[in-house]
Amino acid sequence: MIKTIELSKEWGTHLPVLMKLMSMTSGNVLEVGTGIYSTPFLHWACFMQGRKLVSVENSEEHFDYAKQYEETFHIIQKEVPEAGEWDIVFIDSFPHENRKEIVRKLANKAKYVVVHDFDGRESYADIFKYFSHYTEVMPETGIFSNVINLEHLKA
């Protein structure tokens, strides 16, 4: 039986940022928190570009959904990897309270860290040197880096 869910365009507001960064980078991608918008997009973009993608999901229901995308280039797992270098880390995980810990863990392992549903409530200034806030659509998306000046991403 196919489960019916209510879709909302607000769930995909991170896509403009991910599309831009995918066009600017060529390395590995880490997705922390899978979804009906980010997972298919990242899966097919990484497939086309020959990139490694790791998707992490802690919810059983979402994990089961994400497993359909598992391929040799796309790994689905339940824990954030301890090791790895990432061009893009995308964070859209629940609960929101755990995001800062995840961000801190990955901050120096990624060129870009993208946080969806970001409205400035949590400051990552103590973690990152560079910050951009994509405010063109709601909910907003935060972009962070310790290695790349993000002036070129200002909205």
The CATH-assigned architecture of domain 24-153 is: 3-Layer(aba) Sandwich (3.40)
Per the DSSP assignment, residues forming a β-bridge with 75 are 54
Distance CA 102, CA 82 (A): 11
For the chain, the structural domain boundaries read 24-153
pLDDT in tens, the chain (155 residues): 445 556 666 678 899 999 999 999 999 999 999 999 999 999 999 999 999 999 999 999 999 999 999 999 999 999 999 999 999 999 999 888 889 999 999 999 999 999 999 877 667 889 999 999 998 888 899 999 999 999 987 65
Return d(Cα 88, Cα 145) in angstroms, integer. Answer: 10
Measured in residues, the chain has a length of 155
Are 78 and 60 spatial neighbours (Cβ–Cβ below 8 Å)?
no
